[in-house]
């Protein structure tokens, strides 16, 4: 279903009316985690002012440590909905449990499946039945074939509105949080008709790498990027070191906007 064999033209997926696919370089930005109404609104206003067309933000956070901030749950979804009403930006937010899919889908414009759940087949199937577009991150140790098969689980449930997201894979290299597998973008685009975007924030895990990795994503023809931003990264409850501040985001957005042929 997701292969290009029977579907030679690349697909465009619409999220609350915003297109992601060939001919676009969709900028998705927002906080890694929803912390407070003020922080989420400030991040969304930064995103919107810079030209982002979709808002990201996690209310259910899959954390490596059980002692780390796990997200606000439904209260976080309510904050996102309020911020959407205020800014007009459709929401992309993660769901980590099949039992929460209906709840998250009742607030979200797009469901995000994170790297840690890239082969949680029950969750993938539930997301496929939720009636919302799905952003599917690549598993941190997943091959491209495994990623596409994960997408197939969603598609099998009748939902072809799937966007693939390369977010870096685990390698021996420790200088970066993950290793951005830039070749995965054109490879996945050749094998599948689904749009492919890049997450430079979670790939490098470092603010100073977000811009260069975004340039790399643009150079290989990614259909969009998803970027962490925070009004005060030094106090962020999740992934502050990779969050952009206002000026950085504007610079990044200018690079994205100035691309020839981008709609
Ligand atoms: C995220 O985007 O908030 C996230 C946790 O990403 P990943 O699943 O790629 O680690």
Residue whose Cα lies nearest atom 3 of ligand 1: it is: 32
Taking the mean position of all CA atoms in its chain, how far away is CA 58? 10
Contact 235, 200 (CB under 8 A): no
Q: What's the pLDDT score for residue 125?
A: 98
Counting from 1 in the atom list of ligand 1, the atom nearest the Cα of 33 is 3
The DSSP H or E segment spanning 253 is: helix 246-257
Q: What's the pLDDT score for residue 260?
A: 64
Contact 159, 129 (CB under 8 A): yes
Secondary structure (H, E, C), 188-242: HHHHECCCEEECHHHHHCCHHHHHHHHHHHHHCCCCEEEEEECCCHHHCCCCHHH
The DSSP H or E segment spanning 92 is: strand 91-94
Cβ(202) to ligand 1 under 6 A? Answer: yes
Mutate to test the pocket of ligand 1, among 40, 164, 167 (most ligand atoms within 8 A of CB): 167
Counting from 1 in the atom list of ligand 1, the atom nearest the Cα of 117 is 8
| pLDDT tens per residue across all 263 residues of the chain | 999 999 999 999 999 999 999 999 999 999 999 999 999 999 999 999 999 999 999 999 999 999 999 999 999 999 999 999 999 999 999 999 999 999 999 999 999 999 999 999 999 999 999 999 999 999 999 999 999 999 999 999 999 999 999 999 999 999 999 999 999 999 999 999 999 999 999 999 999 999 999 999 999 999 999 999 999 999 999 999 999 999 999 999 998 888 765 54
Contact 196, 188 (CB under 8 A): yes
Tokens of 110: 């797009």
Contact 257, 250 (CB under 8 A): no
- Distance (angstroms) between ligand 1 centre and the Cα of 6 equals 31
Cβ(32) to ligand 1 under 6 A? Answer: yes
Q: What's the pLDDT score for residue 256?
A: 86
- Distance (angstroms) between ligand 1 centre and the Cα of 57 equals 10
Rounded Cα–Cα distance for residues 93 and 57 (Å): 6
Contacts 24+ apart (CB under 8 A), 146-151: 146/118, 146/119, 147/118, 147/184, 147/188, 148/2, 148/3, 148/188, 148/191, 148/192, 150/113, 150/118, 150/119, 150/121, 150/124, 151/2, 151/192, 151/194
Contact 52, 225 (CB under 8 A): no
Q: What's the pLDDT score for residue 262?
A: 55
Cβ(58) to ligand 1 under 6 A? Answer: yes
């Amino acid at each position: 279903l997701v292969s290009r064999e029977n579907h030679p033209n690349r697909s465009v997926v619409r999220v609350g009316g915003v297109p992601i696919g060939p001919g676009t370089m969709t900028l998705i930005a927002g906080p890694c985690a929803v912390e407070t109404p003020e922080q989420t609104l400030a991040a969304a206003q930064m995103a919107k002012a810079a030209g982002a067309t979709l808002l990201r933000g996690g209310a259910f956070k899959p954390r490596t440590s059980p002692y780390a901030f796990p997200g606000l749950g439904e209260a976080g979804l309510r904050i996102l909905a309020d911020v959407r009403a205020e800014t007009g930006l459709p929401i992309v937010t993660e769901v980590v449990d099949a039992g929460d899919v209906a709840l998250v889908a009742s607030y979200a414009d797009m469901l995000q499946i994170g790297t840690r759940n890239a082969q949680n087949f029950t969750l993938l199937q539930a997301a496929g039945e939720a009636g919302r577009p799905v952003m599917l991150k690549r598993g941190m140790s997943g091959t491209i074939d495994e990623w596409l098969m994960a997408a197939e689980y969603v598609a099998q449930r009748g939902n072809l509105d799937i966007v693939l997201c390369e977010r870096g894979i685990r390698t021996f290299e420790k200088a970066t949080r993950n290793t951005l597998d830039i070749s995965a973008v054109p490879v996945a685009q050749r094998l599948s008709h689904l749009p492919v975007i890049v997450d430079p924030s979670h790939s490098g895990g470092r603010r100073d790498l977000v811009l260069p990795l975004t340039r790399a994503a643009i150079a290989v023809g990614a259909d969009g990027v998803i970027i962490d931003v925070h009004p005060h990264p030094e106090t962020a409850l999740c992934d502050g070191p990779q969050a952009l501040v206002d000026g950085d985001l504007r610079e990044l957005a200018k690079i994205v906007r100035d691309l020839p042929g981008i709609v």
